[in-house]
Amino acid sequence: MGQPDERARAAVPPIEPVLLIDDNDGLREALARLLESRGYRVVCARDGQEGWEYLEGGGCACVIVLDIRMPRLDGRVFRKKQLERKESASIPVVVFTASEAEMPDAVAVIRKTDPQALLDTIDRAASIPALTD
């Protein structure tokens, strides 16, 4: 038998889902299926407003995958609101975007041309314990 793949997910997936926020329907659906095949539960939002409503309504997440350019509420405004809300401020964010972007307080900013880097980063970010006061 060969060596185990170092990128393989832990045997026990997180209890909380990945919150996937992207306005591109096809990409969002494909990423959701891929994450589900790796053992994650996924909650999808079509834009930052829908993602914010999920969190504001008491939804939880082990990690948020966030696009930057979206209608209604873009990724930067979403992240600002998320950080201002005590209940959601500690959820790690991975930015996954087609645009050149920086978000210094994100776990990572990954271009949409590198889905493997996204998966590897989600695996790492999902294992970061939530910060508590």
pLDDT digits 0-9 by tens, 71-122? 999 999 999 999 999 999 999 999 998 877 787 789 989 988 888 899 999 9
Residue 10 lies in a domain: no
Helix locations, 1-133, DSSP H: 25-37, 48-56, 75-84, 115-126
Residue 132 lies in a domain: no
Alpha-carbon gap, residue 93 to 106, rounded angstroms? 5
Residue 2 lies in a domain: no
Alpha-carbon gap, residue 99 to 122, rounded angstroms? 19
Domains in the chain: how many in total? 1
The pLDDT of residue 40 is: 94
Angle at 33 between CA 21 and CA 16, to 5 degrees: 60
pTM comes to: 0.84
Residue 3 lies in a domain: no
pLDDT per residue as tens digits for the range 21-39: 999 999 999 999 999 998 9
With a cut of 90, say whether residue 6 has pLDDT above it: no
Domain that holds residue 50: 18-126
Residue 56 lies in a domain: yes
Residue 115 lies in a domain: yes
Residue 57 DSSP label: T
Distances (CA, A) of 42 to 18, 33, 87, 109: 5, 9, 19, 20
With a cut of 70, say whether residue 66 has pLDDT above it: yes
CATH number at residue 90: 3.40.50.2300
Residue 11 lies in a domain: no
